[in-house]
Amino acid sequence: MRLGVLFSGGKDSSYATFLAKKQGHELICLITILSENSDSYMFQHVSQGEIEKLGERVNLPVIFQETKGEKEKELLDLREGLKIAKEKYQIEGIVTGAVASNYQLARIQKLCDALGLVTINPLWGIDAEEYWKLLLKDKFKVKIVKVAADGLTNEWLGKIIDKKNLEKLKKLSKKFRFDLRFEGGEAETQVMDCPLFKE
């Protein structure tokens, strides 16, 4: 199936892209929503420059759609980005990095249904510890770029999650009761290297 990818450069959208490709889908383009709101309910706050570089590394064109990041209104901007991707690249579906947020998944699903697009959500419902094990096994180099939860201090900024740091994170997540997948916005990540990237 010809697919576009809702892509932020973080671990979820990147690993979902990896899995979709592994499943034999044809990846056509990346769709990135540039939100002015760093606390958006829907989208990770990313810079266009970073995504342009990542687009080159995965050898896919990027569609950029800007949004002010206002709750619910940002969905209209997402719809526009999806519509452009469908018209320009004839995609048949969308890959998302949705893990556990019904809020995000329901809204993306509704927009895709209206546009006649299938949604592919390879990470939906994945167990947190199993997810990190898979990321490490598949050689995903994940860096923490933002923290916003009790227990995650600024010393975590810029850290790469290896087996040692994962054990520390597991202990902190149990102590401070945050989602180890960072699904509640506890932290944001950027993938520095992975099998998707060209050398």
Asked whether the predicted pLDDT for residue 86 surpasses 90, the reply is yes
Identify the CATH class of 2-120.
Answer: alpha beta
pLDDT at 50: 84
Name the pLDDT band for 43 (thresholds 50, 70, 90). confident
- By the 10 Å C-beta count (0-12 exposed, 13-18 middle, 19+ buried), 98 is classed as buried
pLDDT at 39: 67
The answer, yes or no, to whether residue 29 has pLDDT greater than 90, is yes
Helix axes 74-89, 102-115, angle to 10 degrees: 40
pLDDT at 104: 86
Beta bridge partners of 32: 64
Candidates 3.40.50.720, 1.10.3470.10, 1.10.760.10, 3.90.1490.10; CATH matching 128-193: 3.90.1490.10
Does 38 score more than 90 pLDDT?
no
Q: Please tell me the predicted confidence (pLDDT) of residue 9.
A: 92
120-146 average pLDDT score:
96
Rounded Cα–Cα distance for residues 166 and 71 (Å): 33
Domain residue ranges in the chain: 2-120, 128-193
Q: 101: pLDDT confidence band, cut at 50, 70 and 90?
A: confident
Decide if pLDDT at 45 tops 70.
no
Rounded CA separation 59/158 (Å):
25
